[in-house]
Amino acid sequence: EHKGDIYRKAYGKRATVPSGEAMTLNTIFDAASLTKVVATTPCILQLVEQKRLSLEDKVCKFLPELTGDPNKATITIQHLLTHTSGLLPGIRRGYEWLGYDAGIALATSEASPGHSGYDYRYSDINFILLGEIIRRITGKTLSVFSHESVFAPLKMLDTSFGPATEQATRIAPTTRMEDESILRGIVHDPTARAMGGEAGHAGLFTTAHDLARYCRMILNGGELDGIRVLRTETVELMSTVQTPEIISARRGLGFDIDSPYSGPRGATFPRGSFGHSGWTGTSLWIDPFSRTTVIFLSNRNHPAGGNVLALRHRLGTLAAEATGFDFTKITGALPELARKEKQQARETVRRPVGKVLSGIDVLVAGDFDLMKGLKVGLITNPTGLDRKSRTTIDLLHSAKQVELVSLFGPEHGIRGSLDGNVGDGVDDKTGLPVHSLYAGKDRRKPSPEHLADVDALVFDMQDIGCRFYTYVSTMGLAMEAAEEAGLRFFVLDRVNPIGGLKVAGPLRDGERKFVAFHEIPVQHGMTAGEIAGLYQSELFPELDLTVIPLRHWKRSMRFDETGLPWVKPSPNMPNLTAATLYPGIGLLEFTNISVGRGTSVPFEIVGAPYIQAEDLAKELTSRDLPGLQFVPTRFTPESSIFKGEECGGVRVLLKDPSQLTPLLLGLSIAQSLRQLYPAQWETTKLNTLLRHPPTEQAILDQKPTESIITEWKKDLEAFEDRRRKHLLYP
């Protein structure tokens, strides 16, 4: 459409299977992500106009379940609308769940890898949350509120969530499913489909005619046929750049902005062309200068996928030629829109929020003086990075004051990608020898021959604050070897990612094991440097130990408050949520239950083929565990235990880390399994990581939770006295 002149044409077929159907002008399409700008955005902005919320409002004001995460607590409505919340692109897949409420619980619980206001990441979760905010404020579902406030006033008669039965024959089908059925009138987006077909990011069905009316309203400053839907100043906000200067992506409120014009960024930036696209092959693009709208609807997913980018580009070119207005630079964004949004979904522009310095940062700042003249061997893995993401290997190797002689690889190797035994080798980049500390049960300690040419060992790896996470055991064995060889030992300290306040669980009861190096509790609340001090005091008094401490870290801080880059400490530790739950869920690993290895959510999911998902979720929910929620689910691990077998279980949602006690979670899951599946749950190896026979027996005897925790109290009090002497941080 250009200045009131409309060109409309239907081409090809809207269906090819099970039989061919011609495309028509009144065909109804799955709009996919156009839902974001046609339904959710105008509804939110109407609530802003009504002063029922503001763009600056914190999202947790309406969704209090977000308050447990430091980053999520700072997200505003504007951050959601501009995709600058720092949230993940979507709810992670790889497991099955159903229901609108479950979808909201999952969306509010997904890990937040970015920092609100500083990171751009195109995210469906942003608009899922906006849709739920509309429901909580108005008491009406998004489908009802959008119909009443947008579609009905604009006479968009064929636009709705879940088309009516009489519209079925006009709907363009999309994907062929695994059972050979074809989606028709059922939303293609898997998340929206699981939520019952209605979500803030997808689920809308519409026609070209209806979209043209919506776009005409936008071009007219929020009014159409005498009906005002939005204020003119609101439309200005939608269609001008609202992202901050530090972010290269240009977003309005909802819309993607393409602006070739010069001028300052911000709300006063001159309007460029703007629009949006949808995964199913839909797009709309508006140019306010030529008063032109280009709407392109296709069902590229039918029956098994296709690419319409080239066609989109051609349509943009033809539209430019037809209008006689030179906006080829503007409509040039149209064919690239889907590609651009994918690219932007991966783009992160980060400004660290915290100011914590790790031990390696402090060492570099001191020009390596503490190691001056020493030949050193370095025990490290991919987490050995400074604040600028430079590796400790490279920093030591290039330092003039110190000579890096050799490398030692722990479990998963120096590059962190290996499972199982790790062999010796040579580092490709530096040419240095790599000695394995995980080549078998007898090769977990540096050997005398590997230490013959070094003056000191340096340890730099990210622990996660759990006794059976083996990096602190590797450190202990290396300290023992250094004492025996008369070497110095340095620890480049790193934060405890799950915080340094909580101490929980039983102490090791029994002999030293690689998963239980010393008599400390499962959750010890210490950094690696602090544990090294404890080890030296109680085990290796002759060792010459130097801990290069952190700066600006407090015990109350979790990793997402430090501003440091998160790097997976091991292949199945993808994020802070997994690390937080690990001390509890990880306890169960050697029993016949999946803890999510081989899925997209390791240590956030538990299950087994013999478990009824709803029963386990109900039992765990009844225990009222602080900071947690449980969603019944089914999943099929691609590796590890139960590989290729469908499992029933629960997705464990971390709502508030400050309230969580991971050991209580692990204990509750074990008690629930013992109660529900006494014959199927195999407990022979329950003590493998627990290392506390009295607790093992109490679980088997189904003793009350309180009595089990009480049994830990005396030992924990004694450990607190031992621990206190070695704490380095307030």
- 203 burial level (CB within 10 Å; 0-12, 13-18, 19+): buried
pLDDT tier, 138 (very low <50, low <70, confident <90, very high otherwise): very high
Beta pairing class for 21-22 and 544-548: unpaired
* Phi and psi angles of residue 654, each rounded to the nearest 5 degrees, phi first: -90, 105
CB atoms within 10 A of CB 317: 15
Task: Report pLDDT for 268.
Answer: 42
**Peptide bond connecting 303 to the previous residue in cis, omega within 30 degrees of 0:** yes
Residue 350 confidence class, pLDDT cut points 50, 70, 90: very low
Distance, in Å, from the CA atom of 617 to the CA atom of 52, rounded to the nearest integer, reads 36
Residues 6+ apart with CB under 8 A from 460: 359, 360, 378, 379, 380, 384, 392, 491, 492, 494
Residue 347 reports pLDDT greater than 50: no
Residues 437-492 have pLDDT tens digits of 988 777 899 999 999 999 999 999 999 999 999 999 999 999 999 999 999 999 99
Q: Retrieve residue 376's tokens.
A: 């050193």
266-275, 313-322, 489-498: the lowest-pLDDT one: 266-275
Question: Once rounded to an integer, what is the mean pLDDT over residues 664-686?
Answer: 98
pTM of this prediction exceeds 0.95: no
Neighbours of 21 (CB within 10 A): 15
Predicted local confidence at residue 67, as pLDDT: 87
**247-259 pLDDT per residue, tens:** 888 899 999 998 5
The per-residue pLDDT for 68 is 84
DSSP sequence for 552-581: S--TT--GGGT-PPP--SSTT--SHHHHHH
Q: What is the mean pLDDT of the segment spanning 578-604?
A: 97
**pLDDT at residue 57, as a whole number:** 98
> Which of 139-143, 377-381, 387-391, 439-443 has the least mean pLDDT?
439-443
Q: What is the mean pLDDT of residues 41-46?
A: 98
User: What is the reported pLDDT for 338?
Assistant: 44
Q: What is the rounded distance in angstroms from the CA atom of residue 44 to the CA atom of residue 169?
A: 32
The model's pLDDT over 279-321, given as tens digits with 9 standing for 90+, comes to: 999 999 998 988 999 999 999 999 988 999 889 888 877 887 7
Mean pLDDT rounded to a whole number for the chain: 92
Q: Which two tokens stand for residue 639?
A: 């590796």
Count of CB atoms within 10 A of residue 525's CB? 21
Is there a contact between 242 and 249 (Cβ–Cβ < 8 Å)? no
Which amino acid type is present at position 47?
Answer: L
Describe the strand order of the beta sheet including 605-608 as a list of residue ranges.
95-96, 628-635, 647-654, 605-608
Q: Residue 54: helix, strand or coil by DSSP?
A: coil
Give the model's pLDDT for residue 417.
59
Could you give the C-alpha distances from 62 to 54, 75, 133, in angstroms and in order?
Answer: 11, 11, 6
pLDDT at 316: 78
- Asked if the model's pLDDT at residue 594 lies above 70, the reply is yes
- d(Cα 708, Cα 722) in Å, to the nearest integer? 22
Please name the residues in contact with 384: beta carbons below 8 A apart, sequence gap of 6 or more: 360, 378, 391, 392, 393, 460, 461, 492
CA 247 to chain centroid? 20
How far is the CA of 170 from the CAs of 189, 209, 260, 427, 555, in angstroms? 20, 13, 39, 62, 61
- 265 CB-contact burial (10 Å; exposed 0-12 / middle 13-18 / buried 19+): middle
402: helix, strand or coil: coil
Amino acid identity for residue 147 in this structure: H
- Where residue 4 falls among pLDDT bands split at 50, 70, 90? confident
CA separation, residue 266 to residues 156, 246, 251, 252, 479 (Å) = 32, 11, 10, 9, 55
In the block, tokens 């021959």 appear at 449
End-to-end CA distance of the chain: 65
Mean pLDDT value across residues 23-34: 98
pLDDT at site 418: 60
pLDDT value at position 353?
58
Task: State pLDDT tens for residues 606-627.
Answer: 999 999 999 999 999 999 999 9
pLDDT attached to residue 416: 58
Residue with tokens 């962190």: 416
pLDDT of residue 440: 77
Q: CA torsion angle for 143, 145, 147, 148 (degrees, to 10)? A: 160
Distance of CA 69 to the CA centre of its chain: 12
The pair of structure tokens assigned to 324 is 């006689």
Q: What is the mean pLDDT of residues 394-423?
A: 85
Cβ atoms within 10 Å, residue 489: 25
Phi, psi of 107 (to 5 degrees): -60, -40
CB burial class (10 A; 0-12, 13-18, 19+) of residue 536?
buried
77: tokens are 């409505």
Distances (CA, A) of 645 to 490, 635, 636: 46, 8, 5
Average pLDDT (134-143) is 98
Would the pLDDT of 260 be above 70? Answer: no
Question: For 477, which DSSP code?
Answer: H
pLDDT score for 1: 86
Q: Among 250-259, 498-507, 629-638, which is the least confidently predicted range?
A: 250-259
pLDDT digits (tens, 9 = 90+) for 410-452: 887 786 556 677 788 999 889 999 999 988 777 899 999 999 9
Judging by DSSP bridges, how do beta strands 488-492 and 544-548 pair with one another? Answer: parallel
- Give the β-pairing of 204-206 and 29-30: antiparallel
Residue 267 is predicted with a pLDDT of 38
The answer to whether 426 and 432 have CB atoms below 8 angstroms apart is yes
- Side chain identity, residue 336: E
Report the candidate in 721, 12, 638, 699 with the shortest Cα–Cα distance to residue 298: 12
Q: What is the DSSP string of 31-45?
A: -TTHHIIIIIHHHHH
Average pLDDT, stretch 29-48? 98
Q: What's the pLDDT at 414?
A: 82
